[in-house]
Amino acid sequence: MKLLKYYTKAPEVLTLCEILYKLGYNINISDSFNLKVDAAVKDFQRKNSLVVDGIVGIKTWTVLLQKNTIPVNSSDKFLKESDLVNFANQYKLELASVKAVNEIESSGKGFLINNKPKILFEGHIFWSELQERGINPNIYYNSSHKDILYPKWTKIYYQGGVKEYDRLNKAMTLGTDPKFKDAALSSASWGSFQIMGFHAKGLGYADITDFVSKMEINEGEHLKAFGKFLEKNGLLTHLRTKNWAAFAKGYNGESYRLNKYDEKLAKAYAKYSRN
């Protein structure tokens, strides 16, 4: 595992945060090694008779993984280089473009430390999905549910990593009607390419349950869903021509400007095209 310390920003920090969170540390799960992560690491080192320096090297990683009772993802879950090459050839795309989207959408990681697909739950989508199923969200709109149900997009309730499943589970059990579960599953983005659940039927899946079951298999299924999404939404041309702004808008909506998705994609593409 990569050596990590304060100020490090890397996908491996996500794994570190997920393990620390599971071990009881109240930290945000992200790819940034911030002060809270530093404090958690030092506390873990102190309690486990390690050198308390905040540096996650081989010794700290070893003890962290020993303490973590959830197995780390097995390799059969992961995309292989050959999968990406075949996909690029199938859709007549440059390999660097495919790798760029994979990196920016999920930091190149489609599964979490608990072997669940990476998700991001969207409370404003949950609002509209409930409405589509004939359920009035205003009835449930209160302070107890403000983190999972709201009328307009906001990112203030994002938790990241395994914590997103806490929000998803809370949404699924908001009511006893099975419609709540379907609406909740449809309100999360799934896997390596963060495809929203509400696209399931439009992409050819039987229903949202079928879509989620496929996302739980491996990153190869995430890649298949990505291809279907590109075809369905006419985004292949933008990806082939590297029109990052048009692709980002079609893939992430108008909010792409706020997150600078087009700039991030262009930078990632430039990196992979040099390799």
Q: What is the pLDDT of residues 144-156, one digit of tens each?
A: 999 999 999 999 9
What's the rounded Cα separation, in Å, for the pair 266 and 258?
A: 16
Please check the confidence at residue 257 and state whether its pLDDT lies above 70: yes
At 206 the pLDDT is: 96
Cα gap 49→221, rounded to integer Å: 42
Whether the pTM exceeds 0.95: the reply is no
pLDDT band, very low/low/confident/very high, at 74 (cuts 50, 70, 90): low
pLDDT of residue 176: 94
Query: If pLDDT is split at 50, 70 and 90, which confidence band does 77 have?
Result: confident
**pLDDT per residue over 207-247, tens digit each?**
999 999 999 999 999 999 999 999 999 999 999 999 999 99
Q: What interhelical angle do 58-67 and 11-22 show, nearest 10?
A: 40
Q: Is residue 66 over pLDDT 90? A: no
DSSP β-ladder status, 188-190 and 195-196: antiparallel
At residue 175, what are phi and psi to the nearest 5 degrees?
A: -140, 165
Look at residue 125 and tell me whether its pLDDT is greater than 80: yes
Cα–chain center distance at 3? 23
Per-residue pLDDT, averaged over 44-63, amounts to 91
